[in-house]
Amino acid sequence: MKGDIAVLGFKSSIFQRDRHHKFATRYGVSEFDYKEYSLAVPSTAFCVLLLALGAPYGKKTALEYRIPDWLMRAEKWQKRLFLASYFGAELATPKTNNGYNFSTVSLSCSKLVKLQSNAVSFLQDIRELLFSLGIATSEPATVEGYRYSGVEGESIGTRISIQANERNLNLFTSQVGYLYNKQKERLASLIPLYFRFLEHVRMERNLAREQASRMNSEGRSVSEILGTLKSANVGVSFLRHSVWGGRGPARVYGVKKFQEFCSEKELGKGGMAYAEITSIDETDYIGYVYDLTVDHSEHNFVADGLVVSNCGMRLIRTNLRYKDVKPKVKELVDLLFRLVPTGVGVKGSVRLAKGQFEDVMRWGVKWCSENGYGWPDDAGMVEEGGFIKGADPSKVSSQAISRGITQLGTLGSGNHYLEIQVVDPTRFFDAETSKHFGLVHDTR
């Protein structure tokens, strides 16, 4: 939050303090200690900006306020940003009791009893925003357990809940979720991935059930059916019941629970998880594609747990025009795949003896230029002249040499790429550099 406020041009500070609370509820006296963290923005202008946007000013339980009209009419992405930010603080954390299904996620609003109708109206506004995003919620309901006698008078809680059926909760966590709360953000990222896993299990089990029933009708033995169809997600008991027939859609019990799924699949603790590619489909799409990591000052990436610098790049300008290339994009891509060796284990056209390969390891780009595999000025364009001073090929294992000696002259694999781009003359981020490379004319 502090970073986002700084983007708006305002300074802020984070404070911490220990607090003690004690209050009576219908369930008894509640008393606890906790650490409170707050963000203070010492700017009158910032306060005025929030008020102008419709934020309430004062003690919320004693104020009447609604969602501002401009926000109710805003674009969907703006509604999502508001809701996710608000929910990061106010909406309950998703929880699962049995490991497979999640309970409803509730949002409460406490008001003085005389202002409860305003609480209902405010929550109806929230419901309308969520409904515009396709997310279903319950009607506002009074929560007697949240009744509290305070300095301003008696207050009472009103609550709505986001329906916890799999489709609705999947839509909420994947399309809205939470902001400014790392744990809630993490869960909102992992829950849709878990739902996809469960859907895959259902599909696998339903298919296995159909196959088991068919094989049984064909007279196959139970042992053959089990040996053919049993898998990590399709157990023996499930298959035995399947051959009886007359069963409904497969359920997902008996597979990885949510926490187990996260422990096995999550990458770190940031909500990202590994997934397997299930299919690759060809499409006739011809348009922009984006490298999602490119918006970084150094364009670095993570390899084996270490942040390392990215590949070097070379720009070659052609005299081709977009109108000439577009009709032949597929042929061009096919030709590149035929002419440019790429991928794991693919050999290049350069054949070297071990001694020559050791020279390559020692002198790098300098060797390539001197042996006809580069331009004379290439070494001067590369960091440290294109080689590492003091490089010692004797430190490289025989296995590494045998794997790499045939790779020279290939594109390689992993984070290496060759791409053909078209110049958009309306989007020069560095006009001087563009002019230096001759990228100043409309090449379309």
Domain span at residue 48 reads: 1-53
Q: What is the largest CA-CA distance in the chain?
A: 89
DSSP character string of 289-302: ---TT-SSSS--EE
Cβ atoms of residues 332 and 380 within 8 Å: no
Question: pLDDT-based confidence at 151, cuts 50/70/90?
Answer: confident
Question: Per residue in 405-440, pLDDT tens?
Answer: 888 888 877 667 888 888 877 777 777 888 887 886
Q: Could you say which of 273, 297, 323 is where a domain stops?
A: 273
Residues 65 and 28 in one domain: no
Out of 160-174, 246-260, 396-410, which region has the weakest mean confidence (pLDDT)?
246-260
Report how far residue 313's alpha carbon sits from residue 376's, in angstroms, rounded to the nearest whole number: 17
Beta bridge partners of 29: 24
User: Do 375 and 429 reside in the same domain of the chain?
Assistant: yes
Q: Do 218 and 154 lie in a common domain?
A: no
Note whether 161 and 65 are same-domain residues.
yes
Say if 149 falls within a structural domain: yes
Residue 443 in domain: no
pLDDT in the model for residue 288: 73
**Radius of gyration (C-alpha) of the chain in whole angstroms:** 31
CA distance 228 to 263: 30
Residue 243 sits in the same domain as residue 320: no
Please give the structure tokens belonging to residue 55.
């934020």
pLDDT at position 321, please?
85
- Boundary of a domain, candidates 53, 73, 97: 53
In a domain, 303, yes or no: no
Of 231-240, 376-385, 391-400, where does the model show the most confidence?
Answer: 391-400
For 156-201, the pLDDT digits (tens) are 999 999 998 999 999 999 999 999 999 999 999 999 999 999 998 8
| pLDDT tens-digit series, residues 7-36 | 999 999 999 999 998 877 666 788 889 899
**Domain count along the chain:** 4
CA dist., res. 118 & res. 334, Å (int) = 64
Question: What are the backbone angles phi and psi of residue 106, rounded to the nearest 5°?
Answer: -105, 150
**Considering the domain boundaries, does residue 128 fall inside one?**
yes
Sequence-distant (6+) residues with CB within 8 A of 116 are: 142, 156, 158
Strands 301-303 and 153-162: unpaired
At position 107, the amino acid (one-letter code) is L
Assess whether 242 and 333 both reside in one domain: no
The answer to whether residues 328 and 356 belong to one domain is: yes
What is the structure's pLDDT at 172?
96
Written as one letter, the residue type at 283 is T
- Residue 91 phi, psi dihedral angles, 5° rounding: -90, 145
> What is the reported pLDDT for 306?
55
Hey, what's the torsion of the CAs at 170, 175, 181, 182, to 10 degrees?
Answer: 70
Whether residue 103 lies inside any domain: the answer is yes
Mean pLDDT of 381-406: 88
Task: Label residues 175-203 b or e (16+ Cβ within 10 Å = b).
Answer: bbbbbebeebbbbbbbbbbbbebbebbbe
Average pLDDT, the chain: 86
Domain check: are 174 and 63 in the same one?
yes
Whether residues 47 and 65 fall in one domain: no
- Same domain for 198 and 175? no
Statement to judge: residues 324 and 358 lie in one domain:
yes
Percent of the chain with pLDDT over 70: 90
Q: Evaluate whether residue 44 is within a structural domain.
A: yes
For the entire predicted model, the pTM comes to 0.64
392 domain-assigned: yes
Confidence tier at 311 by pLDDT (50, 70, 90): low
pLDDT class of 119 with cuts at 50, 70, 90? very high
35 and 105 housed in the same domain:
no
Which residue has better confidence, 279 or 443?
279
Q: Which helix (H) or strand (E) holds 108?
A: strand 105-112
Query: What amino acid occupies position 369?
Result: S
Give the SS3 label for residue 13. strand
In a domain, 299, yes or no: no
Whether residue 297 is predicted with pLDDT greater than 60 in this model: the reply is: no
What is the rounded distance in angstroms from the CA atom of residue 64 to the CA atom of residue 116? 9
Q: Residue holding tokens 């070379």?
A: 314
* Tens digits of residue pLDDT in 330-375: 999 899 988 888 877 788 888 889 999 999 999 999 999 999 988 8
